[in-house]
Amino acid sequence: MKKFLKISALSISGVLVVALAYAYISFNFYSPNDPEVAVDKAKLAYYHESWEECRDAFRMQAEKMRERFDSVELFSVPITSQTDNDLTIDFCYIPASDTTKKLVLINSGTHGIEGYVGSAVQQMLMNEFFEEEMLSEVGLLMVHGMNAWGFKNERRFTENNVDLNRNYGLDEALYQTKNDGFVVLYDMLTPKGELNMNSLENRFFLITAIRQIAQKGMPALLQAFAQGQYQFEEGIYFGGFKAEQQMAILSKVIQDKAEPYQTILNLDLHTGFGERGELHLFPNPVDDPVLKQKMETVFKDYEINWGDSDNFYTVSGQFVEYIGELMPEKTSIPMLMEFGTLNTSSTMGAVKSAHISITENQGAHYGYKSEKDREKVKAGYYEMFYPPSEKWRTNAITISKEMMTSIMKNYQEL
């Protein structure tokens, strides 16, 4: 009986694989349902279609804040590039008017292309949310477009192919971190040559991925894929061989502006991972019970995924955690906020997300067989990190404002 059940299970499993593969090959596009919300043109006005437009809009909203606040500092720091002399990280700082106990830092564009949504949220907060009484006991530091090159060139990575959210750390041992799982999957995750979306490898990627899931399990694959790797500069999630220039820039600015404050709330805006239409809270696991309690207090109205589920991974070299390393004498409350796009908790969503990342990386390094291949990859990349859906974009602004209302109230009372 046991043997029969085993054979039946394998047969059913085989049928499912074939069915999923057929669906994937037939459509080769995974688009989950959007949230049921009414499209709001006023909210959509915060979104733009180029890095330059986003930067201009951020600067404009920051300038408008001078009308409501006595002290507003606006400044830009240039990013050195081999190909572009107009890249900047832009800052808006408003000191707390009555006390210097708490500072909130809101950052966008750690992962370049994800900055479109982060920028829209920052613009909304500056235009609609922050008022004088709110910042009487809390200072505000906005960081726009940390990865300006990736933002402008619609990639997650820097000009050196470095994932900035795997690059931050005081200890240079970070850049010697081993990711053995990535090494095992190197050929699958880092294909060479011109990208052909109609190749057998791409048409049957789902089958390859499901086989790996069956052998190693989803948690192990997620960890190998997204933890960060420091060995292959042509690979995805490359954390770098050394610190990128953004680390020195952000370290100087944050140390300067945060110097008078006792507590810093670090909010880093991202897109991609999680359920579509939801704004997720994804910190790395926290061992310090005091810090964990503070995080649970600030975000008490929302679920925090502490990294203990099967569909989660831990990350090396995160920006929000680096701030605590940089200023250990202060209380640093880190939180990565992620707007979900492709339902990555599902097998189909996780596999499609991985495939999009792999093909985009291959095309960026080795080119595309045809313009159609390039357009298909770009469409997938947008769906994953900057969905064109007006419902999705409207919802992202709405839930951001709702969550920030809760966060700021709880943080002020902390």
How far, in Å, CA of 378 to CA of 359, rounded?
10
| Residue 301 within a domain | yes
What tokens appear for 277 in the block?
């239409």
Residue 311 has pLDDT above 60, yes or no: no
| Whole-angstrom Cα Rg for the chain | 22
Record the pTM: 0.92
30 neighbors 352 (Cβ within 8 angstroms): yes
| Residue 18 within a domain | no
141 neighbors 254 (Cβ within 8 angstroms): yes
Residue 314 has pLDDT above 90, yes or no: no
Residue 11 has pLDDT above 60, yes or no: no
Segment 391-413 mean pLDDT: 97
Domain that holds residue 120: 48-179+227-341+387-413
| Residue 216 within a domain | no
| Residue 355 within a domain | no
Partnered with residue 333 across adjacent β-strands are 265
| Residue 207 within a domain | no
Phi, psi of 123 (to 5 degrees): -60, -45
What tokens appear for 316 in the block?
């090396």
Please write the tens of the pLDDT for every residue from 34-80. 888 999 999 999 999 999 999 999 999 999 999 899 899 999 999 99
| Residue 31 within a domain | no
Please write the tens of the pLDDT for every residue from 19-30. 555 455 444 555
Please write the tens of the pLDDT for every residue from 125-176. 999 999 988 999 999 999 999 999 999 999 999 999 999 999 999 999 999 9
Segment 334-339 mean pLDDT: 97
| Residue 197 within a domain | no
Task: Give the percent of the chain with pLDDT over 90.
Answer: 77
| Residue 53 within a domain | yes
Please write the tens of the pLDDT for every residue from 270-300. 999 999 999 999 998 898 999 999 999 999 9
CATH number, domain containing residue 255: 3.40.630.10
Longest Cα separation, the chain: 78
Domain count, the chain: 1
